[in-house]
Amino acid sequence: MCFGWITLLADYLSGASVRVMIRHLAVAISFFAALLTEPATAESPEEERWSIAIHGGAGTIRREDMTPEREAEYTAALQAALDAGAEILRNGGSAMDAVKAAIVPLEDDPKFNAGRGAVYTWDGRNEHDAAIMDGRDRSAGAITGTTTIKNPILLADAVRGDGRHVFLSGAGAEQFARDKGLATVSPEWFGTKRRKEAVERLRAHELSALDVDYKFGTVGAVALDREGNLAAGTSTGGLTGKRWGRIGDSPVIGAGTYADNRSCAVSATGAGEYFIRVGVAQEICTRLRFRFRAEIDEAQASVPKDADGMPTYIVHASEFGLEAGEVREEADAVMAETGALGGTGGVIVVTPDGHAMFSFNTPGMYRGRATSKGVNEVAIFAED
C-alpha cells in the first residue's frame, strides 16, 4: 500500500533525483513493513494449523524380536500419549500444554525408560532427567538426578515457569519440587522387575548398557499450536548401569531438547554423549532457520529491478515455508553427522509450517505424529 502511493506521488514530481529518492524510500518502507509483519502461519488462525510428534526411544528394535502382543501394547501406549497431546491442540490449547499432556502418560507407563519405567543406575537407583522449552520466548527448564518426583517433565516446567534458573540437579531440584507442591512418591514406586534384571545382568557380566537394553529409552514430544507457537519436551531415566552422576543429552538445552518459533522444535533420543557434542537439537533448528532465510534472499535476488536499479517488489517471509523434504534433509544431515562420530538414535521435529517428522539411524524408534490435516499414525520399526 505504501509503495503504491509513494510511487504514484513520484510520477507527479519532476526531477530524476527526486524520483530516485522517493523510490528508495518506498522500498525501505516496504522492507521494514515486511519485517514487522508476522508470518502467515501466526496470523491465519482460520487455518487452525497444529501438529504434534512424540517418541518413546530408539535403538535396536526389530519386529522379529517382539511378540505381536508386546507390539500391540507399545502401539496402544504411543497412541494414547499422542491422542492426549493432539486433543489439547485440537481444542485450541498451547503447544506447551500439549507436550506435557503427551509426556506424562509415557512417564507413568513402565514400558518406557522415563518416570516409572526408568532404568537402574549402577548403584541400584532410578534417577530421572527432563527438560522442556517454549519456542515463544525460548524460556526453558531442566532437571537431573531426581529420585522421588512422580513426573519429572512437570518439575522441568516448574523450573522454566519460575524463571530464576534453567537447570537444577539432585537434592536441590527435589527441594524446589517440594516448594512448588509437585507430586512425589517413594523411590521404590519407580522400580520394575525388567529394569532390575537388566542392571543385575550388566553388573554380573560386566556388560555395557547396550548389551542389556538394545535401545535408548527416552520419551519426548514436540508440538505446534494454532497460535503458531512451538514447544519441546524430553524425559528419561538415562542409561542402564550409569555411574558417577552421568548426565545425557535429554535435559541439556540445545542437545536433546530445543524449541524456537523461528525454526522448529526438536526432542532427541540416543547416545547422549554424541548428541551433546553435536548439539543436535539446536543444530537442526539453526540449519532450518538459515535455510529459510537463504531461500528468501534467493527469491529477492530474482525480483526484477526498475530503471533506477531498485527491486520492484519486496519478498515477504509469509510467502515462503520450507517443504517437508527440505526439513527432512536438514534433520537427516545432522543425524548423519552424529552417526559419523559414532552416535546412534533419532529425533522428532515439528516446524512452524506444521511439518511433523522423524529422523533416526537405528533399526527402530517408538514414534507417532498427528496434525490438523488429518495425519494420525504411530510406528515402531524403521520399515513402518
Where are the domains positioned within the chain? 1-36, 47-381
The answer to whether 137 and 249 have CB atoms below 8 angstroms apart is no
d(CA 213, CA 130): 20
pTM for this structure? Answer: 0.84
What is residue 70's three-state secondary structure? helix
Q: What is the mean pLDDT of residues 60-69?
A: 89
Q: Identify the CATH assignment for 47-381 out of 3.60.20.30, 3.40.50.300, 1.20.59.10, 3.40.50.150.
A: 3.60.20.30
The answer to whether 339 and 361 have CB atoms below 8 angstroms apart is yes
What are 110's three cell numbers?
A: 513402565
Single-letter code of the amino acid located at 213: D
- Looking from the CA of 66 toward its CB, the CA atoms found within 13 Å total 18
DSSP code of 271? -
Q: Which residue has cell 522454566?
A: 160
Q: What is the mean pLDDT of residues 260-287?
A: 97
The answer to whether 120 and 126 have CB atoms below 8 angstroms apart is yes
Q: Note the pLDDT of residue 59.
A: 86
DSSP code of 378? E
What are 267's three cell numbers?
A: 526432542
- Looking from the CA of 366 toward its CB, the CA atoms found within 13 Å total 29
Q: Note the pLDDT of residue 254.
A: 98
* Confidence band of 35 (pLDDT split at 50, 70, 90): very low
DSSP code of 184? B
| Inter-residue long-range contacts of 297-306, CB under 8 Å, 24+ positions, other chains counted | 306/23
298: buried, middle or exposed (CB in 10 Å: 19+, 13-18, 0-12)?
Answer: exposed
312 is catalytic: no
Q: What is the mean pLDDT of residues 150-162?
A: 98
Single-letter code of the amino acid located at 167: F
* Confidence band of 56 (pLDDT split at 50, 70, 90): very high
Q: Note the pLDDT of residue 14.
A: 42
d(CA 145, CA 130): 9
Q: Note the pLDDT of residue 308.
A: 82
* Confidence band of 282 (pLDDT split at 50, 70, 90): very high
The answer to whether 351 and 370 have CB atoms below 8 angstroms apart is no
Identify which of 373, 376, 331, 330 has the alpha carbon closest to the alpha carbon of residue 353. 373
Q: Which residue has cell 521404590?
A: 188
Higher pLDDT, 140 or 316: 140
Q: With 60 as the cut, is the pLDDT of residue 17 above it?
A: no
Give the distance from CA 111 to its chain's centroid: 22
Query: Among 48-62, 72-86, 296-310, which stretch is predicted with the lowest mean pLDDT?
Result: 296-310
On average, the pLDDT of the chain sits at 86
d(CA 222, CA 243): 29
Q: What percent of the chain has pLDDT over 70?
A: 84
* Confidence band of 223 (pLDDT split at 50, 70, 90): very high
Q: Note the pLDDT of residue 194.
A: 84
Strand partners, 53: 222, 369
| Inter-residue long-range contacts of 87-92, CB under 8 Å, 24+ positions, other chains counted | 89/50, 89/51, 89/52, 89/223, 89/224, 89/225, 89/226, 89/372, 90/50, 90/372, 92/225, 92/226
Catalytic residue among 41, 121, 147, 218: 218
Q: Note the pLDDT of residue 29.
A: 45
d(CA 283, CA 238): 22
Q: Note the pLDDT of residue 250.
A: 96
Phi, psi values for residue 207, rounded to 5°: -90, 170
Which tens digit of pLDDT belongs to each residue from 240-267? 888 899 999 999 999 999 999 999 999 9
What is residue 327's three-state secondary structure? helix
Higher pLDDT, 112 or 10: 112
The answer to whether 340 and 361 have CB atoms below 8 angstroms apart is no
